[in-house]
Structure 1
């Protein structure tokens, strides 16, 4: 049994990428355990060079969206351990320097920021946002954010 979350606000992120598809998907799910407030975001965009790039893109996009909702204290969760390593030590990933500079710019806007690796089985809510977007818009690009209870 896994440890219960001890923080109130968290955001799960996920990026998906397939070599056979020209678009990639980004998803995020925000939850405030204390107030019950929840938001979800999904986006299609042109596929990046690697799956890892899309995972980092998902983090950047989630951060930018959460600023719009005035969320400045956040714990991010990802099922990609390399994302946690990358944002914890930016200098060790020179191939991603431009994207990681954007992560760093976004991160500095948070009052409190942390990122954790979670098992893939625990990151299903961010996947739901992307799955819904993929069904609606298979070949195009676009994005959508909404309150969780609006998903239907």
Structure 2
């Protein structure tokens, strides 16, 4: 059986209770860092699609944050980092910060549940998947 990567992200504005989440799975890439970048790109594309143009992205992967600040130091990821940059330029406000893994449990749960499924899944909605 082919090994799968699970991707998950969670968007919430606590003042308004506005929320959106996404989960999907795909064939596992070369590294978990590649999956982390692909998740960021997908989350960015979804936020743009839903017209969320002022964004603070949070990730528990410190290397992703480092990559965005010094992409030239990560040549193996140049294609993905170019895509991040293309998306980034479409936001009116974009920032990213590292958070502890304990503060990223909702996104991690979405990714783990997608990874465990034997079939393809792609889900973006404001309610949690069943």
| TM-score bin (small chain) | over 0.9
Show the counterpart of 2:91.
110
Contact kept? 2:123, 2:129, Cα under 8 Å = no
Give yes or no for contact 2:4–2:115 (8 Å, CA) kept in 1. Answer: no
Give the number of the structure with larger relative contact order, counting CA–CA contacts within 8 Å between residues 6 or more apart. 2
The runs of at least 4 aligned residues of structure 1 exceeding 4 Å deviation read none
Count of aligned positions: 130
Consecutive unaligned residues of structure 2, counting only runs of 5 or more, are: none
1:141 alignment partner in structure 2: 120
C-alpha distance in 2, partners of 1:25/1:61? 12
Work out which of the residue numbers 94, 101, 104 in structure 2 matches 1:120.
Answer: 101
Q: TM-score, normalised by structure 2?
A: 0.92
Query: If the length of structure 1 is used for normalisation, what is the TM-score?
Result: 0.79
Picking from 25, 50, 60, the partner of 1:44 is 25
- Does the 8 Å CA contact 2:5/2:115 hold for their aligned counterparts? no
RMSD: 1.6
Counting only pairs closer than 5 Å after superposition, residues 1-152 of structure 1 correspond to structure 2 as 22-135=3-116, 138-148=117-127, 150-152=128-130
Residues 114 and 42 (structure 1), Cα distance of their counterparts in 2 relative to 1, 3 Å cut: same
